[in-house]
Amino acid sequence: MRKAYLLKSLTRHNLIKASSDVRSFLSSYPIELRDTLERELSEIVVLSGESIDAKTLKQLLLTKIANLRLDVNPANLEAIYIAIANEVTKKIKKTIPSRLIKSDVAFSFDEVDVASIASMRQSFYWMGLDYGERIQEELKNEIERVYNGELDRADVPAALKAKFGSIIDRDERYFKGVADHIILQSQNVAKVTQAQKYGADAFRVRATIDDKTSPICRSMHNRIISAKHLSTQASNILAASTPNEKKNAAMWQTKPFYGTELPNNFGLPPYHFRCRTEIEPVWYDDLDNLDEFKREVKYPSKQVSAKIANKEDHLKGTRYKSVNEMISATIGAIAKEGRHINDASKKVIWGQNGCIIFIDEYGEVESCFKPLRGLSYYEDWSLTFYDSIETKTRIRKWLDHLISNL
Ligand SMILES: [Zn+2]
């Protein structure tokens, strides 16, 4: 290897590692692929303008397309992984209770990390195979179309150029999406493997909560998943030796998940394409309270709690002895749930006990009371994602009865 070349790649490796930043990779990777694709396609366009007889030219173009290969495996994958692992370790360090920190929390390589890098490389390779097949098919169809006599020979290069231009624009976004996905999954796998070195009991799901949050991520937000469940799933992802095995180890979900037990192949984000959800380690001693679906709910601040306790139509209007008791009962049996209609960051829970709870994006209770205006009051206030009483008129009648007897 030439000295200058070695120096250049060493510098690049250290730059990525030192910046602890995969964002630079995520912005340059789709552009690199776009450039390669652009070069390949423009060669096809140039070729299509050659004065060769139509039949031979068509064959020539199809052969060229069949040989089209994009190298999608990024260089510096090890450095990218080290950057991911450093970032993850920094985040873990913030969450470890100080009582558990015995020595410095820093990333160090072990065999799981080697497996993670191999798994990332595999994922990029599979993406390349999949993409290669699709693009060749699409290009073949395009050549067939322009050679079906629909176009004048002289117009063929221009027609191909226009078509390829739109493919290039569209696929740059695709490359970014896939790279994002692979990075995000690796980040979350790394979180599971790194945090276990510090004895994390479980992980908390953290979605980015805003207008764009998907129903699945909303339903999983703040859910506590045991480290055992996630490490089994992570091992399955790392052990996958075909694209199908990998898909089966981490199922994509579209519908919100409301269940007490998670299937083996579900729990570790990302949950869908362009998902922004992450996980963070937690220790059981530090958790407040879990709802029916194992999502952490933090009791309100002293101030809010005092308000709930003293208002006539709040705690005093119920049979509960304390605010926390009322909250636990409400979240322990959820009748309905949705996002607040005016504030995408808030969740509204309607308990089967007839109480309503507003929860902020950090899982903290903002208010809890028994609404006087019945079920319709709730429906006006939230976009419902979960409704266990929709089809159960018996419970609905019972709830209405509860409310009318307040
Ligand atoms: Zn998501």
Top-ranked range on mean pLDDT: pick from 10-14, 151-155, 323-327: 323-327
| Separation of CA 100 and ligand 1 centre (Å) | 31
Name the pTM for this structure.
Answer: 0.84
Average pLDDT value for residue range 150-155: 77
| Separation of CA 242 and ligand 1 centre (Å) | 24
Whether the predicted pLDDT of 42 surpasses 80: yes
Q: Across-strand partners of 336? A: 350, 387
| Separation of CA 10 and ligand 1 centre (Å) | 36
What average pLDDT does the structure give for the chain?
86
Comparing 11-15, 270-274, 331-335, 363-367, which segment has the lowest mean pLDDT? Answer: 11-15
pLDDT at 15: 58
| Separation of CA 269 and ligand 1 centre (Å) | 8
pLDDT at 346: 94
- Given a contact cutoff of 8 angstroms between Cβ atoms, the answer to whether 267 and 257 are in contact is no
CA angle 290, 291, 295 (to 5 degrees): 65
The pLDDT tens digits for 91-136 are 888 888 888 777 777 888 888 899 999 999 999 999 899 899 999 9
The pLDDT tens digits for 168-213 are 999 998 999 889 999 999 999 999 998 888 889 999 999 999 989 9
| Separation of CA 280 and ligand 1 centre (Å) | 15
| Separation of CA 231 and ligand 1 centre (Å) | 20
The pLDDT tens digits for 61-90 are 999 998 888 888 888 888 889 888 888 888
Average pLDDT value for residue range 309-328: 88
Sheet holding 334-340, edge to edge: 365-369, 356-359, 347-351, 334-340, 382-387
pLDDT-based confidence at residue 402 (cuts at 50, 70, 90): low
| Separation of CA 246 and ligand 1 centre (Å) | 19
Integer Cα distance of 310 and 65 in angstroms:
75
| Separation of CA 237 and ligand 1 centre (Å) | 19
Which one, of 341, 349, 345, lies nearest residue 297 by Cα?
A: 349
